[in-house]
Amino acid sequence: MTTNRSDTFDIGGELTVHRLGFGAMRLTGDRILGEPADVEGARDVLRQAVELGVDFVDTADSYGPCVSERLIGETLALDGDAADVVVATKGGVLRNTAGDWLASGDPDYLRNAVLGSLDRLRVDSIDLYQLHTPDPEVPFEETMTALAELKDEGLLEHVGLSNVSVDQLEQAREVVEIATVQNEYNVGNRESEAVLQACEEAGIGFVPYFPLGAGDLGEKAAVVADVAAAHDATPQQVALAWLLQHSPVTLPIPGTSSREHLTENVAASRLELTDDELARLSE
């Protein structure tokens, strides 16, 4: 992996965003269900992200469900920031009353899902629409063809994937241009390293979810803490800085409902790790 550092990335070759984005999954209630306990507080976190220069926000119709998208659409419209922020959303997952995440890649379902997302986000076309996960009950080509058609109709500007293998990425690219891939990945979890490598070779953005490992960086936790102490930084900042320097196509999307944590996360984009520190974290 190259360690060249750029502050921006061109999604789909044309949507230029700062590489450190904001994951809006937590702008909901407990277990990612229902309204947040403090709705205005959730809006303020989103507003602060934009004020701090974040211009890439990631969400999904299953967050709430529908709650995160609606809050983003309302808040950006009210503040007049909609044109300055690239909003990526995801579809293809249903939530039941127990809060389970159920794949649904049926073409008709996806079409209706896109229409709902357009309405909640208050846009005529979605900047980046990502398949949340492949549906084992629906042929993958059918799912991707449906998204390709929605893009051709102008309802989607760019198409992305989430939770996919290298083979699935290549299959999807035979049907429609893929702008991003969003897989779980962080300094302590490299299971998607091959997918990241494929994205880097193709110039596709790689959006690592759980970039902070949900607080668990496994066997890398001690090294991360050691590097953090050397920089008078937090372990979370080091984990984000590593992602930004590990590959030029990574677009980390740390999520939080705390304004203090948000400020700390954004500051990580200014943290420069040494070659030796990168090697220790990457080995």
Contact 235, 3 (CB under 8 A): no
Share of the chain above pLDDT 70, in %: 98
d(CA 196, CA 251): 11
Contact 189, 210 (CB under 8 A): yes
With H, G, I as helix, E, B as strand and everything else as coil, classify residue 124.
coil
Mean pLDDT over 232-242 rounds to 97
pLDDT higher than threshold 70 for residue 16:
yes
Closest CA to 43 of 17, 64, 70, 61: 70
User: What pLDDT score was predicted for residue 68?
Assistant: 98
Q: What CATH homologous superfamily does 8-215+248-256 map to?
A: NADP-dependent oxidoreductase domain (3.20.20.100)
Q: Cite the active site residues.
A: 63
User: What pLDDT score was predicted for residue 6?
Assistant: 87
d(CA 8, CA 101): 32
Residues 6+ apart with CB under 8 A from 97: none
Mean pLDDT over 55-67 rounds to 98
Structure tokens at 37: 């306990």
- 81 band by pLDDT with thresholds 50, 70 and 90: confident
Q: 15 vs 59, 107, 123, 156, 207, CA distance in Å? A: 17, 26, 16, 13, 15
pLDDT in tens, 249-263: 999 999 999 999 999
With H, G, I as helix, E, B as strand and everything else as coil, classify residue 28.
coil
Mean pLDDT over 216-220 rounds to 93
Model-wide pTM > 0.85: yes
Contact 232, 271 (CB under 8 A): no
Contact 238, 231 (CB under 8 A): yes
Residues 6+ apart with CB under 8 A from 36: 26, 27, 28, 29, 42, 67, 71, 257
Chain centroid to Cα 158, Å, comes to 14
- 2 band by pLDDT with thresholds 50, 70 and 90: very low
pLDDT in tens, 90-114: 999 999 988 999 999 999 999 999 9
pLDDT in tens, 130-183: 999 999 999 999 999 999 999 999 999 999 999 999 999 999 999 999 999 999
- 222 band by pLDDT with thresholds 50, 70 and 90: very high
First vs last Cα of the chain: how many Å apart?
A: 12
**Percent of residues in the chain assigned helix, strand, coil, to nearest 5:** 45, 20, 35
- 234 band by pLDDT with thresholds 50, 70 and 90: very high
Contact 43, 75 (CB under 8 A): yes
Closest CA to 210 of 167, 247, 237, 240: 240
Structure tokens at 129: 């629409």
d(CA 198, CA 129): 20
In this structure, what are the phi and psi dihedrals at residue 136, rounded to the nearest 5 degrees?
Answer: -65, -15
Share of the chain above pLDDT 90, in %: 93
pLDDT higher than threshold 60 for residue 23:
yes
Mean pLDDT over 4-28 rounds to 94
User: What pLDDT score was predicted for residue 3?
Assistant: 45
Q: What is the mean pLDDT of the chain?
A: 96
